[in-house]
């Protein structure tokens, strides 16, 4: 199972992280990514989560638009919308948190 959780707000990021932990507990072999953009990006940078940050992908467009930089250990994608579309083409299950 491959699941991508979309988190465009701070509250959605909080839900996505909880969803990822819950899914991983029930489906240990699941591949889980959290893609964040818009208001979810500052929240991702301010509140780290060791359990889910390995699967976190932060939108570089949002970082640039807001004058932010991703710290060491936080992966970026060029554009969240492109990444979400590409993952769905590849068969990932999309869930908006």
**CATH number for 43:** 3.40.1260.10
Domain count for the chain: 1
Q: Which tens digit of pLDDT belongs to each residue from 1-60?
A: 999 999 999 999 999 999 999 999 999 999 999 999 999 999 999 999 999 999 999 999
What is the DSSP track for the chain?
Answer: -EEEEEE-SHHHHHHHHHHHHHHHHH-TT-EEEEEE-TTHHHHHHHS--TTTGGGEEEEHHHHHHTT--PPTT-EEES-HHHHHHHHHHTTPEEEE-
pLDDT on residue 19: 98
pLDDT on residue 46: 96
30: containing domain: 2-96
Q: Which tens digit of pLDDT belongs to each residue from 20-32?
A: 999 999 999 999 9
Closest CA to 53 of 92, 13, 2: 13
Q: In whole numbers, what is the pLDDT of the chain averaged over residues?
A: 97
Cα(87)–Cα(4) distance, rounded to whole angstroms? 8
């Amino acid at each position: 199972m491959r699941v991508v959780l979309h988190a465009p707000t701070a509250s959605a990021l909080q839900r996505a992280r909880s969803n990822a932990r819950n899914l991983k507990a029930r489906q240990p072999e699941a591949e889980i990514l959290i893609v964040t953009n818009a208001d979810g990006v500052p929240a991702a940078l301010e509140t780290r989560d060791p359990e889910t940050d390995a699967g976190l992908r932060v939108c570089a467009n949002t970082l640039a638009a807001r004058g932010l930089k991703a710290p060491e250990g936080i992966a970026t994608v060029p554009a969240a919308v492109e990444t979400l579309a590409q993952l769905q083409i590849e068969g990932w299950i999309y869930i908006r948190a």
